[in-house]
Structure 1
Amino acid sequence: RTAALPPLNLPADDAPHGARMEWWYYNGILDAKDGQRYAFHAAVFVADALIRHTVMHVALTDLKTGKRFASQSRTGGVPGKGGANGFDFRQDGWQVRGSGAAHAVRADFDGVSISLALSDPHQPVAHRAADSATPGLLDFGKSGISYYYSRPRIAAEGEIAVNGRPVQVTGDVWFDHQWGDFDVLTFGWNWFALHLADGSDVMLYELFDTEGRSILTAGTLSNGARGTSVPLRPGEIQLTPVNRWTSPATKTSYPIEWRIKLPTGEFNVKPFFADGEFDASSTTANVYWEGAVKVTGSSEGEGFLELSGHERLKPAR
């Protein structure tokens, strides 16, 4: 089905598309000169349902103390401007902007300020199925079709302030842009975005239905410095949950520790902190787990894990 759709076209496809669902997403681990470390994720969702609306989510975690700050907002329409080759969302003291290799993320909330300038020295990664010749398109079967590309290692620099104490930070940030006619209420996912010490980047996802049955497992191995990108077949990926955490607030059980086997090696993924739940029931009518992780095994590294749809599982997965 993907062969019948227009191919990915960048930078034009950085801009909003008016799709049923679309999001622009960032995560990263940021280092300060004083040794302080922070993990953050920020996302803009535009949904074209009964009413077109825009949602923004942001969270910041102090990786020394585990203290977490989170905020969200929702508004009708699409605030901001972006032009023909980019996006520029502005709302309630937030800005998420990007076009080509240059991006910016700013957010002010609850005594926290994030201000990052991002520049990508590498080409974007257009994800595809291993048996598809159409880069940037994924077929989710009954759940729909999605365009999907990433910039796995955008160089970031800027400032983070907590309770009025600003620190300069740098780090590598992962950017995703995804859109299409897919219905996020018909499936959930376990998603991995990993930076390995050897310079390679790993994107993996497992989709499952509301009964917990696996729909699709896929991923991409890439290396920006080498300009390589290789899609993985489902049989080349083994994802095994090894430990769970249950939210005391929502009682949702999340598989937060994993063992991963790929053609390139075996890896263990463990979160910095167990509590990564983001309660978005007031903006996107769901809850999810999102947090920074450590990678050990065939190669060391760090990254992010996202667990979505687990609150809807029957029985609990």
Structure 2
Amino acid sequence: MLKCRYLFIICVLIFLMPACSAGLQTAPEGQIQGYNLDSINTTPVPDSLPRLTLPKDDLPHDYLTEWWYYTGHLTSQDGHRQYGFEFVIFQVDRKSFPKIYLAHFAITDLNRRSFSYDQRKQFGGNTNTTHRLNLALGSWTLEGLGGNYKIRADMKGYSIDLNLSTQKPPVLHGDDGVISFGPAGDSYYYSYTKLLVRGILIDRGVKYAVNGRAWMDHQWGNFLTNLGGGWDWFSLQLDNDTEYMIFVLRDNRGRWLGQFGTFIDKLGRKRELKSSDFSIRVTDYWTSSLTGAKYPSGWQIHIPGDNRQIRIKPLIKNQELNTEQTTGVTYWEGAVGVFEISGTGSTIGKGYVELTGYAD
């Protein structure tokens, strides 16, 4: 999954994980059996760790690893065009070196049934103010605070200029926004799970006014990882105004080590999901013609406590990113639909799924 290369890769790659998994370590050989994420200590927050405070903690920190992650769905004002988008900025701080910034930008064009992405890296720069998030890698910019953000990014064929505003309070995962993984370190983690999006998307030179909804994850900490496997991460926004974050960790043989998640109700209140609270079954696969990686490409999730059974399906199969030039990994991150299993099988929401560790 994570590849060791020269100093840049050593300083960057072994610390990059999805927006819900930092700090986790692969269980040592001989301890794989019986390993479960329920055994990870998410309470209490270590006394020495400052409490997460918003909106102040939207801003960059002097920690080893940090990222701001946005995914969402957009529709043109006339209703004729639909897109998914991903935009992420990573900050890597190794004290004696200049800070490193990495960014990915992707568009899923549902009308053309196509997927496009680009990537950037930058050493140094981004002297941030103390009052507002302000990060830039050239023309790619992220600004804002407290659930209100502006994103600008461009690549061949597409550009976005989006304003995002939260409709719910932030969700602090774990114990008041901290997940502790013992020797691996502690990670701050919160999400804005319902962001209203308005702005402009330029598609092959044609400008569209767009609107939609998005999800933001912000995570940072002094955590180290030694993962040899991967993860499956789901952010699901249902039409009944509730959301789910679901995460599955795998070892380097593809075996599931455990799972956890968070449910967010209509008022923005959270409920943590233990591994025993839900089950996931893969229903389909897709093989990349470029990398040969075989990814899950359909899921059924059963959450008995919520009396909910749902089916998740990629809106297009190929949403694979080869980011060898920046993070050095290849992963699948894409727009998905959420459907009923019983009854008419109608659409009940949208989301994003991230899959890592499948392309070695």
TM-score, normalised with respect to structure 2 = 0.80
Match of 1:276 in 2: 319
Q: Provide the residue aligned with 1:292 in structure 2.
A: 335
Q: Given the alignment, which residue of 213, 216, 240 partners 1:175?
A: 216
Match of 1:62 among 105, 109, 112: 109
Give distance in 1, aligned partners of 2:356 and 2:132: 27
Change (3 A) 1:139 1:239: farther
Partner of 2:245: 203
Contact 2:108-2:319 at 8 Å conserved across structures = no
Question: Which of 284, 301, 305 is equivalent to 2:349?
Answer: 301
Q: Residue 13 of structure 1: SS of its match in structure 2?
A: helix
Cα displacement string for residues 145-170 of structure 1 (whole angstroms, at most 9, x for unaligned residues): 32110001111100000121000000
Deviation at 1:99, TM superposition (A): 0.8
For CA contacts below 8 A with separation 6 or more, give which structure has more relative contact order: 2
* Structure 1: stretches of 5+ with no match in the other structure: 129-133, 313-317
Q: Match for residue 231 of structure 1?
A: 272
1:260 equivalent to 2:297? Answer no
> Aligned AA for 2:205?
G
Write the distance in 2 (CA, Å) between the matches of 1:189 and 1:14: 25
Does 1:92 pair with 2:135?
Answer: no
Tell me the C-alpha RMSD between the 2 structures.
1.9
Which consecutive aligned stretches of 4+ in structure 1 deviate over 6 angstroms post-superposition? Answer: none
With over 3 angstroms needed to count, the CA separation of the structure-2 counterparts of 1:44 and 1:233, relative to structure 1, is same
Amino acid at match of 1:91: L
SS across alignment from 1:226:
coil
Post-superposition offset of 1:82: 3.5
1:108 to 150, 154, 159: 154
Corresponding position of 1:24: 68
Output the CA distance in 1 between the equivalents of 2:59 and 2:261: 24
2:83 to 34, 38, 52: 38
For the pair 1:217 / 2:259, whether they are aligned, the reply is yes
Q: Deviations over 1:13-68 (max 9, x none)?
A: 11111222211010111011232101000000112348431101000111122122
CA distance in 1, matches of 2:327, 2:226: 11
- Measure the CA separation in 1 of the matches of 2:286 and 2:87: 23
The CA distance in 2 between the partners of 1:309 and 1:139, in whole Å, is 23
- 1:159–1:166 CA contact under 8 A, matched in 2: yes
What is the CA–CA distance in structure 1 between the aligned matches of 2:278 and 2:143, rounded to whole Å? 34
Give the SS at the match of 1:235.
Answer: helix
Write the distance in 1 (CA, Å) between the matches of 2:204 and 2:163.
Answer: 21
Question: 1:141 Cα shift?
Answer: 5.3
Distance 1:15 1:28, change over 3 A: same
**Residue identity in the other structure for 2:230:** G
Structure 2: runs of 5+ lacking an equivalent: 1-40, 342-346
> Which protein is bigger by CA-based radius of gyration?
2
Moved more, 171-180 or 60-69: 60-69
Work out the percentage of aligned pairs sharing the same amino acid. Answer: 34
Q: What residue is the counterpart of 2:289 in the other structure?
A: 248
